[in-house]
Chains A and B, each alone.
Chain A
Amino acid sequence: MALVLRKIKRNRWYNKRFQWLNGDEIAADPLGDLYTDEGKLSVWLVDDDKSNLNEALVAIACCCQQPSNIDYVLFKDSVLSQLGIQVEECPRDTPFTRVKELHRDLTELSANKLVELAKAILTGESQFGRLPEKDAGRLLAQTISRGLLDRTALNRCWQSKVAEIERELSIRPSGAI
């Protein structure tokens, strides 16, 4: 058993009960976070005990153009089998190479399956989370200080954010004397 992690914008998942929704319908906003490419949706696999959640979040943060909060949802991988969604191992190109094997593509996704997935996430036992921008910077700084991530692999914006955090936390930049 594992958890499936998808980066989202939390405010698309507020599940507001608009008057124009009928029965068990959901608003279409969450589908904005389930955009596919040729029927494939990018996700990360996280251990059940979430021991490697931060590593996956670092991998996601590294791919952002600007320092930012990371909003995410976690749901059980059993949801995928219940909906008949295929999962393909697909290592992601990320500066945090250590965890690239955690990446998966959900494949052969039709529009109907995406709606079912969104409903399952909204109505099931999903866990919505937000890693604040400041904490994301700290996480990256700690990962770099442990020698697990090369700062030069980060874009310039993240590099300066990490440097700011290091000054704040008095972390000696790796490689500094």
Chain B
Amino acid sequence: MARTTSLGEWIPVAAGVTGNPATRYVFTLESIPSDSQSRGSAVESADHYSGVLLGDQARERSVLREVADAASVNGEPATDIPRKAKYLLGSAAGQFFEDGMETDLSRGLVSMIQEFGGVAVVEVAHLILREDASPDVASEALRWIGRLQHRSTYDQRLWLLCESLKCASPKVRDGAVLGLASMDDAAAIPHIRSAIGREDCRLLAEDMQQALRQLESKE
């Protein structure tokens, strides 16, 4: 089922981790900015969405994937959301993170996803999966992405957490496991099993096993 927002339309394109259709953004051609600079920036931004969510093959199928600087989500120019996400994760690099304690990052992340929904998740995914965020920050972000109660972004957040199990940094993989344990969704079981098979850090492998047991107990 397609869902229309002020920025464009989310359309089902492929099977997601839960077996439900994954979604991605499609932008209307009418809203492409006329000047080349804005257009370039908009296209780069649109590539984030299609590239992160679908991969190259699907990207080739995509015809309408450009975004206008005039397009907006909740009144914010859509092209601002990548900048906001980058600033939020970038400025958190010096923060100290402790389990169970809120930080500017956790508050900002929760607020951004609640305000901008899937677009914000995709932008955060872009930064984490391209490993542009520091491992500590990405790890903390993933924990909170799993803890967040936000129904409309559920599939995207679950997808991001499963994908993050493949990140190079063990800290990021740990954040992904904690996030998945918080979501407590048995759909993540095959992804965690695969991650355990790849894991070379003993402590982290134990944590993955523990999360796996938790999810298996739900089946």
Contact = CB atoms under 8 A, between A and B. Distances in A.
A86 interface: no
Nearest to A61: B100
The residue among A7, A10, A63, A64 with the most chain B CB atoms within 10 A of its own CB is: A10
B210 A130 contact: yes
A39 interface: no
| Main secondary structure on B side of the interface with A | helix
A97 interface: no
A30 interface: no
Interface string B152-187: 000000000000000000110011001001101000
A69 B178 CA distance: 8
For chain B, give the interface size range: 20 to 34
Interface in A127-154: 128, 130, 132-134
B174 A10 contact: yes
A124 interface: no
Nearest to B99: A68
Contacts of A68: 99-100
Contact of A66 (B100, B175, B184, B211): B100
Nearest to B98: A9
A89 to B, nearest CB: 24
Given A69-B178, A130-B207, A133-B182, A14 B201 contact: yes
B150 to A, nearest CB: 16
| Main secondary structure on A side of the interface with B | loop
A45 interface: no
Nearest to B174: A11
B100 A64 contact: yes
Lowest 6 CB-CB distances: which A-B pairs, in order? Answer: A64-B100, A68-B100, A11-B174, A68-B99, A11-B171, A14-B201
Interface of B: 96-102, 139, 147, 170-171, 174-175, 178, 181-182, 184, 201, 203-204, 206-207, 210-211, 214
18 contacts: A7-B99, A9-B98, A10-B203, A10-B204, A10-B207, A11-B170, A11-B174, A13-B203, A16-B170, A65-B100, A65-B102, A66-B147, A70-B100, A130-B206, A130-B207, A132-B210, A133-B182, A134-B181
